A = this chain, B = another copy of it.
Amino acid sequence: MLRIPFDEVLAQLAAILRRLGFSEPRAETCARLFAETTCDGVYTHGVNRFPRFIATIRNGSVVVEAEPTRLAAHGALERWDGRRGPGNLNALAMMDRALALSREHGIGCVALANTNHWMRGGSYGWRAAEAGCISVCWTNTMPNLPPWGSAERVIGNNPLVIAVPRAAGPVVLDMAMSQFSYGALESYRKRGELLPVDGGFDTQGNLTRDPAAIEQSWRPLPAGYWKGSGLSMVLDMIAAMMSLGRATHQLSGDPEFECGVSQMFVALHPQAVDPEAVGPEPGTAAIADSIVASLHNARPAHTGTRVRYPGEETLRIRAENRELGLPVEPLVWVEILAS
């Protein structure tokens, strides 16, 4: 793995985006989202994914200079058209819009149709947390997961992000509806390891921890079996219905042409209803810290371990990668330099 300074990665990616037609500030923001994703340790959705992003620009799935347009508004709720712009820029703008609405109305909600892969969903949860807000956002995806009771992939893994601000570091849950992503299955297989728990069915229809068997059957498990399956379905319904956009079953099953997805962004402004709030949310802050403490104090299942909250490692990883440079796969970096 290469280690490349954050600023060098940022400059390199931004230069490529400018050559592809991005304006200066949009190139900078888009590149920064990729670099920050890698910096935070989400290697599958950061710099390593940049060549695939470039491919979707070149094949016309992503329209570089398209910006979202508001189509309808009713108080704290708005409906926008993403116009097939870059998914991460669209998502960041829509979370910012939801945050603005939440400052005015206590809660804000933006439904976005016709957008593209948002890369790392957690980015938008972090954005809201840094603004002192609680947020919930999700995206639908192409059909990549069989619903419970079927062997056919007709639902999406529809990542859901829920983020809660906290002075010592936000809690950021960023979870897809499948128990393991295809990327995770591949990683386990390459390391010659079994999954820690059942991750799907083999071609005989038996639950298995063998990643290769699941890659062969194309039957990964929804998280929680029927529960993740149901949750995936309702998330798809809400995103498509509120945005009047595409549902999972209307999206291409080819990852390079997975475009025009539907997303939801909800922001909650805790200080709006916190009478003690004079500075940065004291009442809610104390509650958040007490919940984290109760988790940390839970007796671990195995000696020497500790219960962690979602996103707990991010700030440590971020600091380490800032210091040592961003880890990037050598072949990916060569490909990026050549683009």
Contact (Cβ within 8 A) B241 A154: no
A50 and B247 alpha carbons, distance in the complex (Å)? 41
CB contact under 8 A between A76 and B75, given known A305-B149, A310-B233 = yes
A74 and B270 alpha carbons, distance in the complex (Å)? 10
Verify if A46 is at the interface (C-beta below 8 Å from B): no
**Which candidate, A100-108, A186-194, A323-331, is the interface stretch facing chain B?**
A100-108
Contacts of A198 in B (CB 8 A): 197-198
CB contact under 8 A between A307 and B171, given known A237-B288, A291-B236, A291-B237 = no
**Which candidate, A24-32, A52-60, A294-302, is the interface stretch facing chain B?**
A294-302
8 Å CB contacts to B: which residues of A209-254?
A: 223-225, 227-228, 230-231, 233-238, 240-242, 244, 247-250
Interface size class of A (residues with CB under 8 A): 35 or more
Verify if A120 is at the interface (C-beta below 8 Å from B): no
Contact (Cβ within 8 A) A76 B76: yes
Minimum distance in angstroms from A271 CB to a CB of chain B: 9
Give the oligomeric copy count.
2
Contact (Cβ within 8 A) B150 A244: no
Verify if A164 is at the interface (C-beta below 8 Å from B): yes
Verify if A92 is at the interface (C-beta below 8 Å from B): no
CB contact under 8 A between A148 and B234, given known A105-B75, A241-B270 = no
Contact (Cβ within 8 A) B308 A231: no
Partner of A207 from the list B197, B225, B283, B294 (CB cut-off 8 Å) is B197
Contacts of A154 in B (CB 8 A): 294-295, 297-298
Verify if A72 is at the interface (C-beta below 8 Å from B): yes
A270 and B149 alpha carbons, distance in the complex (Å)? 30
**Which candidate, A3-11, A14-22, A82-90, A272-280, is the interface stretch facing chain B?**
A272-280
Verify if A290 is at the interface (C-beta below 8 Å from B): yes
Verify if A131 is at the interface (C-beta below 8 Å from B): no
A144 and B224 alpha carbons, distance in the complex (Å)? 18
Verify if A185 is at the interface (C-beta below 8 Å from B): no
Contact (Cβ within 8 A) A105 B74: yes
A227 and B298 alpha carbons, distance in the complex (Å)? 18
Verify if A334 is at the interface (C-beta below 8 Å from B): no
Minimum distance in angstroms from A134 CB to a CB of chain B: 6
Inter-chain pairs besides A171-B237, A244-B274, A250-B290, 19 sampled, C-beta below 8 Å = A72-B274, A75-B76, A78-B106, A78-B273, A106-B109, A107-B107, A109-B268, A149-B305, A149-B306, A149-B308, A150-B300, A151-B299, A154-B297, A197-B198, A223-B225, A238-B268, A240-B291, A244-B287, A249-B294
**Lowest 10 CB-CB distances: which A-B pairs, in order?**
A77-B106, A223-B224, A75-B105, A249-B294, A74-B272, A74-B106, A79-B273, A224-B224, A72-B273, A150-B298
> Could you list which residues of chain A lie within 8 angstroms of chain B, going by C-beta atoms?
71-79, 104-109, 111, 134, 146-152, 154-155, 162-164, 171, 173, 175, 179, 197-198, 205, 207, 223-225, 227-228, 230-231, 233-238, 240-242, 244, 247-250, 266, 268-270, 272-275, 283-284, 287-288, 290-291, 294-295, 297-302, 305-310
